[in-house]
Amino acid sequence: MFRLSKKTDYCLMALKHILSKKNEPSSAREIAEAYDIPFEVLAKLLQTLARKGILVSKHGTKGGYSPARNPASITLREVMEAIEGPVALVDCAGVRKRPCGQEKKCLVRRPLVNLNRKIVDVLGRMTLREI
C-alpha cells in the first residue's frame, strides 16, 4: 500500500500552516500545539526542511519558519524526498535499486518501475500552492 509516512504528513500540515500566515513566521511550538504533533519530532522535521532550502528559519522572539521561496516552486516531491529520500513503491523501482532475489523471474518489475516513474512525475508537478 502506498501511503505517506507520518513524518511527511506532519510536514505537509506544518507547511500548509506556515503558508497560511503570509508574512508572519510560525514557530515549531505553535504548529505542534495547533495540530497535536509531538514538538521534538516537528522541530527536527522543520530543521530538515530548512537545511534543504524549503523553509527559512529565523531566530529570536519574532522568529520561526517561513517559506524559502514561492510556494508555487516547491513541489510535493521535493518535500517528500527531503524527509524520506527518493520515492519508491518497491525497492527495485527507486533511484537506489536494491538487489532482489526475484529479479530474473519477476514479471512485475517493469510495470512497477513505470508506475513509480508516473507517481514521481505527478509529485514533481504538484506544488505547495496546490495543497
Listed residue (47, 60, 59, 55) closest to 21, CA to CA: 55
Least confident stretch, 52-61, 72-81, 100-109: 100-109
Looking at the predicted structure, is the pLDDT value of residue 18 above 70? yes
Least confident stretch, 26-35, 48-57, 58-67, 87-96: 87-96
For residues 4-8, average pLDDT: 92
- 24 is a domain residue: yes
- 72 is a domain residue: yes
Range of the domain at 92: 6-130
pLDDT of residue 4: 84
pLDDT of residue 79: 97
Instruction: Return mean pLDDT, the chain.
Output: 90
Looking at the predicted structure, is the pLDDT value of residue 14 above 90? yes
Q: How confident is the model over 88-103, as pLDDT tens digits?
A: 887 776 665 666 777 7
Query: b/e per residue, 88-110, with b = 16+ CB within 10 A?
Result: bebebbbeeeeeeeeeeeeeebe
In total, how many domains does the chain have?
1
pLDDT of residue 61: 81
pLDDT of residue 51: 97
pLDDT of residue 60: 81
- 1 is a domain residue: no
pLDDT of residue 121: 96
Q: From the centroid of its chain, how far is CA 15?
A: 10
**Separation of alpha carbons 54 and 48, rounded Å:** 9
Listed residue (32, 23, 18, 10) closest to 82, CA to CA: 10
pLDDT of residue 122: 96
- 110 is a domain residue: yes
- What CATH number is associated with residue 13? 1.10.10.10
